[in-house]
Structure formats: C-alpha cells, structure tokens
Structure 1
Amino acid sequence: MGSSPHQVSDVMTRAVVAVGRKALFKDIVERMAEWKVGALPVLEGDGRVIGVVSEADLLPKEEFRDSDPDRFTQLRRLSDLAKAGAVSAEELMSAPAVTVHGDATLAEAARIMALRQVKRLPVVNSEGVLEGVVSRGDLLKVFLRPDNDLADEIRRDVVDVLFPAPVEPVHVIVSDGVVTLTGRVGDASGIELAARLARGVEGVVGVDCRLTAADSHAG
C-alpha cells in the first residue's frame, strides 16, 4: 500500500564484489581498494555465502609483523595471531557469516548491524546464495526522500485512512524530514496513532503532532 522502501531489498547494492575461499591475501586487499569496501563476502562455487573477510581480519598481519607477543597476549589474541599467519580467504574469514534476507525490514537490518558490530551485511536468499549487500549508508538512503514524497504518503496512508471526514482539514507539512500535522479531527483516539504511523514512514526524521479533537472542546 505505501511507497516507503520498507525492506532491505529496496535499498541494498546488487552489484557486489566477492571472493572465493581460495582467494589470496593480496588479491583480497586489492579488491577492497578497487571497490572501496571494507569487507567482502566469501562464496562457495554456487554463490552461497560461507563467511566474510573484513579489514579487521586482515590487520593482524600488520599488527604482529615484527612483534613477539608474550604468553598472555598469545592466549588472549589466539584468533588474531592465527589470522596474522593466514594467506587465503578461508583462513582469514569470519564464519559463519552474519547475513540478512532481502525481505527483512530496515529496522531489523540496523539492529543486526548494531548487535553484531558490523558495517555491512551480505543479503542472501533462502538457500544462502548471495543477492546483494546492504551497508549502513544504504539504510540511510531513506532519509534522502523528498519532503513532498513523505507528505504525499502520510496524507494518503495515514491522514486519509484515519480521518476520512475531519472537522477541519488536516494539513501535512514536511520540512527537512520533520512532519507537522495540524487540524481538528472528530475523535481524539486517532491522534496518537496518527503521530506513530507518521513517525514510522521511512525517511521521516521527526513528527510534531498538533492535531486537536472536536470532542476536547465539548461541554
């Protein structure tokens, strides 16, 4: 019904660079530099995502290049020390990969990124085959929606549905993503819902709800 891009598939990048499990360290670095990305999905032959190799996985090689870590560091940084000696994607990658499905909401993707502390997520189908990549920047694309588009959607999907016959016209003004709702409606019970639904429209930064109800002036 709405035109908001509610799903990951609406904002993800479909042209994705990836590597196979046998890709060598230098090839991985070169691809990251060429495509200006900080992580690459690692694929099996059928395109199934089996891991992700990131800049964080590559840095231990430089960190421990000339060092002779003590016993405590060896125990505490065992995984990083192993990656310092790694030469291929399958040795370097973090597995299993943290992924997301294309039909996930943007909020779900943002929550996964925050909880797992990653900046990009491979987008996979039900078989785990790569379909794209979604980044933090992709999730923020919704805030580039024009104010007029936001206002049109809120009028159509919120105001016209909740208040088909307002006491006074309900005005929707959007400026820099901030929505202002003004007017008088017949029933106060819809006001809080209108504010919540407007806030849920993708690209809305904030809502200033100034709606009043006719019954609030009765008596």
Structure 2
Amino acid sequence: MTGTPHVVNDVMTHTVLALRRGAPFKDVVKAMQRWQVSAAPVLDDDGRVVGVVSEADLLRKEQARADDPGPRPGSEGTKTTAVTAGELMTVPAVTVHPEAPLPEAARTMARHGVKRLPVVDADGLLRGVVSRADLLKVFLRDDEDIAEEIRHDIVPHLFPDSAEPVRVRVRDGVVTLSGRVPDTALVPVAVGWVRGVDGVVAVDCALAGPPRRPDLDPDLPDTEHARPA
C-alpha cells in the first residue's frame, strides 16, 4: 500500500460476532466468551447496526444484586432487569465507515471511551469491527516499506533539485532524514509529511541547507579576473 494511507477496511476484522435484538441474556454471555470479545453489535432484521452490547452492559445485572433491588422504570437501572440483547444494548451505536482513516477511528474511540467500533457501510449494514489492537497493526509495517514510501512519495516532491540525495533510514519505525536541501523552509513540511506516513513512530531530522560560500573581502580583486602584476 505504498503511497496510500491505511483506512479502517485495511485493518478491521471482517468475520465478527453480531447479535439479534431477541438474543437471550445467557446466550449473549456465552457468545461473547466463545468469541473472546468485550462487546458485540446488535442488528435489526435488515442487518443494520442498532446498538452495542458490552461487558459493562452485562455487568449491570450483577451490580444490581448488591444495589437497590427495585430500579425505577425509565432509569438507567432498568437495564438490570434486561433479558435480551435489545434491552441490554447501548444506543445509538458509535460506528465508523470502512473508508475512514485510522486516526479518525482512533479519535472516535477516545472521544466515546470505547475499545472497538462496528464498521458500517453507507446503508448502515455491518461490514466488520475495528478494535484498538487493529489500529496498532499499522506499526508492524516493515521498515524498508516505510523508507521506500518516503523516498518515492515525499522526497522527490519536496526536494526535486537537491544537490545531493536526501538519505532516508528507518529503524524500528524511527525515520532519520539526512543530507543537504536547497530550501530549509521546507524541512518542517518534510518532517510533518513523514510523521504522517503509516507506521512511523518518530522522525529524527538532520537535513541541512546548502554549504555557505565564504564571504570575500570586497577590497580584494576577483581571482578569476585578476591579472598578474
């Protein structure tokens, strides 16, 4: 995928556990344990995501045993009496589209405090699930693959007229840029672009401008045009 930023579809899990509204409480628990997941989307009859059941939703029933045994109707406590996925689920479901960039998915997770997101298409149909662990897969990208993308897609565009080639080295995701470039004003731009490449952990920039010519004394003759006495 050189030159193309990763999107959710590249890292998400395509085969996932999904629940129907009428799934009984115990079946939900058994299914989540069998699939080893902490949450699962709930679908309507057309396959659209209408909510999510998480371990937190399931644990409310256990917590209620030590709390007030008679939750008021209409309160959050009514979930403690839920017996189906439709009654347990949290709505509306927080979702993401397959074409969403990975940073967008990460921000959505952080903003809503969730560990995984159902992935839905434009019609709201379930296409997969993306988790925090999935988002971290990008950092498993091969160092040489990262280096080739930088050499091919960034360096020629920013520094096409460099007197010497810009050297790119990547080790454990840390990129080192070195060499001389004609315009140092573009160095911060280069660092920003490189930092945005999938799999880059950090950027160590050692780019410098062209070597300075020594200032000549204006009273001395130009040696190229000076004539011998």
TM-score, length-scaled by structure 2: 0.88
Give the whole-Å Cα distance in 2 for the aligned partners of 1:91 and 1:207.
49
Question: 1:189, CA displacement in angstroms?
Answer: 2.3
1:78 to 75, 80, 94: 75
State the alpha-carbon separation in 1 of the partners of residues 46 and 32 from structure 2: 22
8 A Cα contact 1:32 1:40, kept in partner? yes
Look up the SS of the partner of 1:40 in the other structure: strand
Larger deviation: 20-29 or 158-167?
Answer: 158-167
Residue 217 of structure 1 aligns to which amino acid in structure 2? R
Structure 1 or 2: more helix by fraction: 1
Shift of 1:3: 4.0
Instruction: Report deviation, 1:164.
Output: 2.0
Contact 2:12–2:129 (Cα < 8 Å) also in 1? yes
What is the identity, as a one-letter code, of the residue corresponding to 1:150? I
- In the alignment, is the contact (CA less than 8 A) between 1:41 and 1:122 conserved in 2? yes
The unaligned stretches of length 5 or more in structure 2 are 216-229
Aligned to 1:201: 197
**Counterpart of 1:41 in structure 2: which amino acid?**
P
SS of match in other structure, 2:128: strand
Larger Rg, first or second structure (1 or 2): 2
Structure 1 residue 171 corresponds to structure 2 residue 149: no
User: For residues 49 and 67 of structure 1, what CA distance do their matches in structure 2 show?
Assistant: 32
Flag structure 1 segments of 5+ consecutive residues without an equivalent. Answer: none
Query: Counterparts of 1:68 and 1:93 in 2: how far apart (Å)?
Result: 21
Match of 1:68 in 2: 68
2:136 to 111, 135, 140: 140
Label 1:189 to 1:67 Cα distance change in 2 as closer, same or farther (>3 A).
closer
Q: Please report how far the alpha carbon of residue 69 of structure 1 lies from its aligned counterpart in structure 2 after TM superposition.
A: 6.2
Q: Which residue identity does 2:24 align to in structure 1?
A: L
Structure 1 partner of 2:85: 89
Cα deviation code 1:73-124 (max 9, x no counterpart): x68x931x21111000110000110001111111111111001000000000
The match for 2:212 among 206, 212, 217 is 217
Whether the 8 Å contact between 1:178 and 1:207 is mirrored in structure 2 is: yes
Q: Are 1:14 and 2:10 counterparts?
A: no
Helix, strand or coil at the partner of 2:199: coil
Percent identity over the alignment? 57
Residue-pair matches, total: 213
The one-letter amino acid of 2:209's match is A
Task: Give the 3-state SS of the residue equivalent to 2:154 in structure 1.
Answer: helix
Which residue in 1 is equivalent to 2:218?
A: none
